Amino acid sequence: MQLLSIVMNNFGFNKPPAATRIVVAMSGGVDSSVTAALLAEQGYDVVGVTLQLYDHGAAVGRKGACCAGQDIYDAHRVAETIGIPHYVLDYESKFSASVIDDFADSYLRGETPIPCVRCNQSVKFRDLLAVAKDLGGAALATGHYVRRVVGANGPELHRARDASRDQSYFLFATTREQLDYLRFPLGDLTKHEVRALAERYNLPVAAKPDSQDICFVPDGDYASVVGKLRPGAIEPGNIVDTEGNVLGRHEGIIHFTVGQRRGLNLSAREGEHNEPLYVIRVDAAKKQVVVGPKEALAQMRVALRDINWLGAAMNGGEIDVNVRLRSAQSPLPARFAMNGGGIGYVTLNELAFGIAPGQAGVIYQDERVLGGGWIATSYGK
């Protein structure tokens, strides 16, 4: 019987599940709740941990977002239902310093940030991972839709089986060391299957809607949040065309992102065939929003900074890859090269539109995530 238990330890540990402690990051949502219930059913020694990331009654919080008041309560109810210990850790100051402040400063630099990546990179996979080890956990499990596949050279990060739920884009910054410790039990499941499991386990969150938008941004109003975090830093400026001609005024660059068409509020322009204008770039130093026709958005080369590499060592040259430049975008065929200073260069096979600094460029080969970095600039046709 003991030998059978060892063989059935699907996390790869040389001991039975009952002797394997798994710490589960519980946000209070359906996915992390099912993760905890699955592992408990399989006989693991499961401990649930929820991070309080902000006061949900504060100005930047909103009811129904993850890691705030109601969700902490929901996580506790789930833990009681499946009979596991549950701890709540106050990470409000860590989250503010690592995620919210970076979010505000990134917008003021004219970038389009992705705070979910920063949260995974710092608070969850750095700070919480350390807590999981302190609790004696053999692994930290999360409800992310992504797969951890053990390859010839160790664990690899792969896209989820359910492409519509895949979250690999948001986990590109996961390091090799972190990946060795992390587990993702939902990677081979669809959302429909996860909902069905939540009902089978009689979890109190089985019908709970998925969280939407950025958790600390009420109603998607990014500018309002940045204004409260950095009062006085939002200044008006000019909207100009690609030749520098002033077309109008704006109330702060934080209201604009590359590829945006709505909200420019430009007066009528001369000529009979005025084509729609899009934000081509945001110049924070000059407090300018540069606009132009759609073709001016077209780029084929992208520079990525702060590369996190999970693939085989690259000894110069280029490799054929697919790259995702927006979370909702399908991977695009490209060539990828990297220098020794943490900078990567993507050359797309065809033109792409609306490539925004501050977003991520994630590199794939088939289903595997080779790594990625932050978009620094794009250029060339």
Annotated catalytic residue within 66, 67, 116, 215: 215
* Cβ contact 352:323 at 8 Å: no
Query: Is residue 119 annotated as a catalytic residue, yes or no?
Result: yes
Annotated catalytic residue within 66, 67, 116, 119: 119
d(CA 22, CA 46): 5
What does the buried/exposed string (b/e) look like for 15-29 if buried means 16 or more CB atoms within 10 Å of the residue's CB? ebbebbbbbbbbbbb
Q: Tokens 């009689």 map to which residue?
A: 202
- Amino acid type, 158: H
Which segments of 92-187 does DSSP mark as H helices, in order?
92-95, 101-108, 115-119, 129-134, 176-181
- Amino acid type, 235: E
d(CA 309, CA 87): 33
Residues in CB range of 126: below 8 A, 6 or more apart: 178
> 73: closest CA among 94, 93, 52?
52
For residue 170, the number of C-alpha atoms closer than 13 Å in the C-beta half-sphere is 22
Show which residues are catalytic: 119, 215
